[in-house]
Amino acid sequence: MNENAEIFCLNRRHSDIVCDFLSDLEDIINEATFYDEDYDGFRDIIEKIILYHNGMGAYTMDDLIDKKTWYLSMPNNAYWATIGYFAALTPENKDNLDEYREKVLSLISVVIKRLEMSLVIQPGTENEDKVNLN
């Protein structure tokens, strides 16, 4: 993940979960790709996901999008972007690509549970009045 990328987050817990998730996702993609150009291409996708996430955060502040919907949105958007990215790769072995899809799906599942749990642990999270940058 681009360390200088600003990601709108509701609080520090949200920031930690999102940053850990993006780092883990990039590790899986780096492992899955054979060529450096393919990995660099995925980093561009991550930047677009961050921009989309930030845009949704801005709409959240205007009450046009529910905060919980936005709060949980990044893993879902990343999942679909990753599936599309995998479709464009030419793997050495198709079975390996399926293994990486499973890893991504597992990661997404864990991250969504962490995000949902953070709302239970810190219930005021979804009612905060501002979006913070990580």
Query: Over the stretch 5-25, which tens digit does the pLDDT of each residue have?
Result: 789 888 888 899 999 999 999
In a domain, 67, yes or no: yes
* Residue 76 included in any domain: yes
In a domain, 46, yes or no: yes
Q: Given the structure tokens 């996708």, which residue do they identify?
A: 45
Asked if the structure places residue 3 within a domain, the reply is no
Residue-range definition of the domain harbouring residue 86: 8-133
Please report which confidence band the pLDDT of residue 131 belongs to, taking 50, 70 and 90 as the band edges: very low
pLDDT band at residue 134, thresholds of 50, 70 and 90? very low
Distance in angstroms (rounded) separating the CA atoms of residues 32 and 50: 21
- Examine residue 86 and state whether it is found in any structural domain, yes or no: yes
CA distances from 25 to 46, 128, 130, 132 (A): 9, 28, 27, 22
Instruction: State the CATH number of the domain containing residue 70.
Output: 1.10.132
Does residue 1 form part of some domain? no
- For residue 95, being part of any structural domain is answered with yes
Would you say residue 32 lies in a domain? yes
Number of structural domains in the chain = 1
pTM of the predicted protein model? 0.81
